[in-house]
Amino acid sequence: MQLTKEQVQKIAQLARLELTDEEMEKYAGQLTSILTYAEMLKELDTSSVAETSQVTGLSNVTRSDELGAALCTADELLECSPLPKDDHQIRVKRVI
């Protein structure tokens, strides 16, 4: 199945790409090769192959969430602000 210039133009439009006529001819051939290969893969019998999402064997490396010692208190953090404070909170102008 050879892609036509109009089909490549439609794909480019959907991808929001501006292609020249030379690029459309070039990509028509490349996209046709990709689609031909994908059609060839459909012929394979994969019924005995287990589904996978990745094949490297790697897994996520995570650490446990542990509460550590606080570096400073809330009042010490408030002292860093030049804004006015009121009852352990920073006072800001009303936003309507």
pLDDT at 65: 86
Angle, alpha carbons 71-74-78 (nearest 5°): 115
CA 2 – CA 28 distance, rounded (Å): 8
Which amino acid appears at position 62 of this protein?
Answer: T
**What is the per-residue pLDDT for 66?**
87
For each successive 10 residues of the chain (96 residues), what is the average pLDDT? 88 94 92 92 88 81 85 89 89 87
Whole-number Å distance between alpha carbons of 59 and 74? 38
What pLDDT, on the 0 to 100 scale, is given for residue 63?
Answer: 84
pLDDT at 68: 86
In order of start, what are the domains of the chain with their CATH numbers?
A: 5-41 (1.10.20.60)
Give residue 19's pLDDT. 92
